[in-house]
Structure 1
Amino acid sequence: MTTADATAPLAVEALLEWRDWIEDLADRFSSLAPPQPAGPSSSVDPWHWERACTRLVTVVADRTRAESGWYGHCEQVLGWFLAYNGIDEERAREIAESAVGGRFGSWTAPDVVVVDTVSSRFARTVDGTR
């Protein structure tokens, strides 16, 4: 950041990149949303939650290039996804933290086994919420 003339284009570029990311997530949330349960006694197949988590973790790791602290944004995105699907925001944050907490590292893209573990935990926790 130097002069206003030099800084303004950088700020605009960053805001456009952020908007593109938010719009991308909105599209993903819509396409990954589990089907609504058929009746009051039915529930969403946990597979839908697990699949969504796997895809969101993967896209966040890719988008952030798994740089320092990327997993914090991953938790945030998973929480947003749950809130999008009608889960209380505080509970959504708790579920995301519980699923991800300490399982990913900075500067390291997660391997398949870890993503599977996180996604499975995520699905089991969500299933107990609804």
Structure 2
Amino acid sequence: MPTIKSSYLGNLRTTSEHIQSGTSILTDAPVDNNGKGEKFSPTDLVCSALGSCMVTIMGIVAERNQVSLEGLTWEVTKIMQASPRKIQEIIVDFHWENPVTDTAMIQKLMNAAKTCPVALSLDPAIKQTINFNF
């Protein structure tokens, strides 16, 4: 059974529905690639998925160890290569207002992030720069 059902809406816009939950997302081509840039671009979603996947796996490890990730935020920067047009680098900057003080737990969380399924699935040619600011 499919996971996602998608359709082209015209004007470089798509819609995708997550079948199990019924939630939808729209994408637009970015302004620098003939689009409106009014929604996430497909490459924005790839980059966003990296950060979200990292935190999801960190969350699993944190819950297993009775650690709260409250106050954890992140920013993602996408760097595109011009020719051929593709993602060149994804930078994820994590910030944690009140991190745990256990250095072993911090290391576990960082290792979990770096081995999330999206990080492991991306082409090795895409540079992943991960900064843990805590």
TM-score by length of 1: 0.33
**Structure holding more helix per residue:** 1
**Structure holding more strand per residue:** 2
TM-score by length of 2: 0.32
